Structure 1
Amino acid sequence: MTTASFKPITSLLGTALSLLLGLQLLSTPAQAAPSGTPIKVGGTLAMTGPLSATAMVHKLVGEIYVEELNKKNGLLGRPVEWILKDDQSKPDLARTLYEQIVTVDKADLLIGPYATANILSAMGVAQRYNKVLIHHTFGIPSLAKYDMQFPTWATGVDPATTGPNLVFDALAAGPKPPKTIAIVTSKFPSVHFMSVGAREVAKKRGLTEVLYLEWEFGNRDFGAIASRLKEAKPDFIWGGVIALEGILLLDAMKKIDYPAPQMFHFLPSPGPMLKSPDAKNALAMTIFEQHAPMTSNTGAAEFAKIFNERAAKAGLPDTFVDTQAAASFAAWQVLEAAVTATKSLDDRTLAIWLKKNTVNTIEGPMRFDGVNNYGDDVSKIKQVQNGEWVVVWPKAYAKPGVKMQLP
C-alpha cells in the first residue's frame, strides 16, 4: 500500500500540563525521507456491507494522512505502514481481524474501525493485549471502560442527553419550533442509544410524542415506517438513522406522497444525503464542517485542500470535509502527537501522555482526562442548504450569514 507523512509542530506549555500539536500539511519544509523498519498501524474499516458508504470516507482520510506522513519524516524517522482489513460492517469479524492484526501482523499501533459496534469489538481485543486504541466514531461513552482507549468523536460523556438537547435548542431558536415529535430509529447500538435519550429529553421539554418505532439494523424496506409517519403527522421527525437508512426512509416517504416535515438524521452518509433532492433542509449532528470558523482549526484548511481533490478523484458524492472525515483525521493527529511527544511506541507510555496533555486537532483542542477518557463536547447541528452541509447551531459555529431553514 502506498504510504506517506506530516510534520508536527509541538509547543510544550509549562512543565507537562499540555502539549498542543499543530500540523502543516503543505507548508512545512521537506525533511529527510523516513528509513528503517516500518512502523505498523493496524485497523479495520467497513469497506463492504451497510456501513461502507461512510467508511469509504475514513479509508480516504487514512490514506491521505499516511501518505503525507511518509513524505516528511514518518514517525520517529521511520516509514509508516497502514495495515487495513475489511470487517464487512460485522462486529464479530472486526474482533477476529484485530486479533490477527495484533498476533499475526504484529502491528505496533492500533487505530479504530468505523462505528460503535465494531469499535467495541476492537476495544476488547486492545484490552486483552494491553494496546492503546485511538478511535473516531464511538457513540456510547458509558461502554468505553477500557483505560487505554481514546475517542476523537468528541460528543462528551453523556451524548444521549446533551445531543438531543442540542437538537431541541436549535429547533427552539428556529423559525417554527415543533410541538409534536415522531421518533423512529435503527437498533444499531449508538443510534438506538441516542434515540432513547431523545425520547426522554423530548418529554421533559414538553414535546408530544405521536409515534415511536424501531427497526433492525440492515433493514431495507421502510414502506411501513413511512406509512406510520404519514398517519401520525408529526411536526418533527427524529430519525435514528445511520449510513443509508435515512435516504431509504425518505425514498419510502416520497413513494406514498408524504413530504417530510422538519427531520433530523443522526448519522447519515453525508454524500448521499447531500445529493438527494428529498433531503432538502435535512438536519444532522456534526463536529466539523468545511467553513469558517472551523477551517481555522489545526490542520483543517490544509487537509481540506487535499481531501477535496482526492475525494473528487475517488468519485465520492460529497467532496467536503465533514464530521466523519474530521473525526478520522483527528484520530491520526492524536496518534502522531502522542508518538512524537513521547518518542515511544510503548502503549502504556502513550496512554499516560494522552491523559495528561491536550492535542490541537481539526476539531479544536482535544483532551482525554474526563470520564472514560472523554473530554469536551464539540457537537453541532448542520443542515443541507443550497447543495452543501452548513452548521446552523450553535450560532458561534454557524456558517457566516446562515440560519436554519424549514423544509
Structure 2
Amino acid sequence: MTYSPMRLRRRTFLAGAGSLAMSLALPALADQGAGPIRVGQTLPLTGPLASVGSIHRLAVEVFVDTINERGGLLGRKLEVVLLDDQSQPANARTLYERLITADKVDLLMGPYGTSAIIAAMGVAQRFGKLLIQSSLGDPKLAPYEMQFPVLPLGPDPFRADTEVVLDAYAATREPPKTIAFVTSKFPSALELAKGGQEVALKRDMKVQMFLEYEFGTRDFGGIAARIKDANPDLLWSGAIGLEATQLLDAMARIDYKPRRQFYLFPAPGPTVVNPNANGLTSLTWFEDHEPFTKNGGAAKFVALYTERAKASGLPWPRAESQAAAEFAAWQILEAAATAVGQVNDKAMAAWLKTNSVNTVLGVRSFEGQFNTGPASTKLRQVQDGKWVTVWPAGFRPPEADMIAP
C-alpha cells in the first residue's frame, strides 16, 4: 500500500499487524510499467532512541521524495517499508527477518545504532543481502563482506575519535590535565570510552574515574554526584540520545558544571537547546555550513531537510551528522544500483568495493578493513544555542572559534 505525497508530508503512519509493525510506506509515482523497488528498514521510532530515529526518518522521506520526483530508481518508483524497532536490537532482528520473508522487500537499509545494526547484519548475512548502514560506531563488529558503513570513522575510531577531541582541547589556552570517563554500556560507546582512556593515559593525563552505566538509564543523580566529586578538567561522556540532556540536568540540580565536557552521540536537538549545554562538544561529520555544504548534493539536501524539519517541529530543525549520514546511505544505495543497472545485492556490493560515491558527507569509499574508508571526524560545540564546528580549524564557519576556559 502506498500513500500520496500530501499524506507523506504529514508523516502519517498506519498500524500493521502486531505491536512492532508501525510502518511507513513512502510515496510512489504513477506505475511506469514495472513494480516499485521496495526497500526495507527499521528505525527507533519509539523508545530511548526515538529522538534520533525521528531525524533519520525525516532524512529518508527527503531522499525518497527527491528520487521519485526525478523518475525513481532505475526508472521504477522507490517505496520504503519502515518498521519501528522500539530501540530494541532483538526487535530489529525479528523485523529484518519479516522484511525479507514476509514483506519480500527487494533491498535492505540498515537501522540506527550499533546494537540494532549488528542484529540486522546477522539477518542480512544469512540471506545474502546487501546492508548499507549509517551509524555503526565499532567497525570491528562488522566483518560481513556485504555491509558498508557510511560514517567516515576509519577502521580504528576507538582511539582516533578521542585523539580528535584532545587535539582540539590541546590547542586552547589551558589544555585539560585530568579526565573522567562516564559511559553507557551501549557497545560502541563503551569501546570508544576504553580506547579514549588509552589515549588519555598515553598523553599523561590523569584519569580520575571510569564509570559505566546501563543503556537506557534515566536517573543520573548518583552519577552526577560522582562526577562532581571527581571534578575533572574534562568530562568524557559516552552518552547516547537523550542521556546527554538527562546527565546535564542532573548535574545542574546539584549546582555543578564540568569545566569542559564532551558527549559522544547525544540527541542533537534536545542537547543544543539545553540551558546547561553551552561549551559542550561532540563528534561531527556534517553541519549545515561551508565547507560541508560543498559536498555532493549537500546544499539541496540542507534546504529540503530544513524545510521538512521545521514543519515537523523537530527541536533542532537543521541538517547535521545524523540526518546527513542517513541521506548519504541512500545516495550510496542509489549509486550502486544505477552503476550495475539492476537490483542485485551481490553485484551492488561488488561495485561498492571498488568504487567511490560522492555524498553529502563527501566522497565515500570502502577499500579498507571492514569496508571502511579514510577517517574524517571533526569536533563541534554548542555555542549560544547552536552547533558550531570548531575542529579542525579549516571546518569552522567564518569568524568562529572554540569556547574554552
TM-score range (shorter-chain normalised) is over 0.9
Judge which range, 111-120 or 32-41, deviates more. 32-41
Counterpart in the other structure of 2:16:
none
Question: Which runs of 5 or more residues in structure 2 are unaligned?
Answer: 6-28
Q: Structure 1 stretches (4+) deviating beyond 3 angstroms?
A: 1-4, 31-35
Counterpart in the other structure of 1:15:
none
Q: Residue 290 of structure 2: SS of its match in structure 1?
A: coil
Counterpart in the other structure of 1:118:
116
2:255 aligns with one of 251, 254, 257: 257
Q: Is the 8 A contact 2:380 2:390 kept in 1?
A: yes
Counterpart in the other structure of 1:109:
107
Judge which range, 252-261 or 80-89, deviates more. 252-261
What amino acid sits opposite 1:302 in the alignment?
Answer: K
* C-alpha separation in 2, matches of 1:136 and 1:73: 25
- The Cα shift of 1:212 comes to 1.4
Quickly say closer, same or farther: Cα 1:299–1:3, change in 2 above 3 A: farther
Identity %: 49
Q: Is the 8 A contact 1:175 1:404 kept in 2?
A: no
Counterpart in the other structure of 1:365:
363
* C-alpha separation in 1, matches of 2:178 and 2:355: 44
What amino acid sits opposite 2:383 in the alignment?
Answer: Q
CA-to-aligned-CA distance 1:168-207 (integer Å, 9 cap, x gap):
1011012321001111000001111111111111000111
Q: Residue 404 of structure 1: SS of its match in structure 2?
A: coil
* C-alpha separation in 1, matches of 2:143 and 2:125: 10
Q: Is the 8 A contact 1:34 1:73 kept in 2?
A: no
- The Cα shift of 1:314 comes to 0.6
Counterpart in the other structure of 1:269:
267
Counterpart in the other structure of 1:160:
158
Q: Is the 8 A contact 2:150 2:328 kept in 1?
A: yes
What amino acid sits opposite 1:201 in the alignment?
Answer: V
* C-alpha separation in 2, matches of 1:307 and 1:346: 29
Q: Residue 375 of structure 2: SS of its match in structure 1?
A: coil
Structure 1 position 329 matched with structure 2 position 331:
no
* C-alpha separation in 2, matches of 1:157 and 1:218: 27
- The Cα shift of 1:32 comes to 9.6
- The Cα shift of 1:261 comes to 1.8
* C-alpha separation in 2, matches of 1:129 and 1:257: 53
1:353 aligns with one of 351, 354, 373: 351
* C-alpha separation in 2, matches of 1:287 and 1:2: 33
Quickly say closer, same or farther: Cα 1:3–1:350, change in 2 above 3 A: farther
Structure 1 position 292 matched with structure 2 position 290:
yes
Counterpart in the other structure of 2:69:
71
2:316 aligns with one of 311, 314, 318: 318
Q: Is the 8 A contact 1:33 1:71 kept in 2?
A: no
CA-to-aligned-CA distance 1:239-270 (integer Å, 9 cap, x gap):
11010111101101011111232100000000
Counterpart in the other structure of 1:12:
none
Q: Residue 251 of structure 1: SS of its match in structure 2?
A: helix
* C-alpha separation in 1, matches of 2:291 and 2:278: 24
Counterpart in the other structure of 1:24:
none
* C-alpha separation in 2, matches of 1:35 and 1:317: 41
1:130-141 matches, cutoff 5 A:
130-141=128-139
- The Cα shift of 1:144 comes to 0.6
1:304 aligns with one of 302, 311, 314: 302
Q: Residue 102 of structure 1: SS of its match in structure 2?
A: helix
Q: Is the 8 A contact 2:240 2:266 kept in 1?
A: yes
* C-alpha separation in 1, matches of 2:198 and 2:32: 53
What amino acid sits opposite 1:232 in the alignment?
Answer: A
Between the two proteins, the alignment pairs up a number of residues equal to 381
Q: Residue 210 of structure 2: SS of its match in structure 1?
A: strand
Which structure's relative contact order is higher, taking Cα pairs within 8 Å and 6+ residues apart? 1
1:141-160 matches, cutoff 5 A:
141-160=139-158
| CA root-mean-square deviation | 1.4
TM-score after normalising by structure 2: 0.92
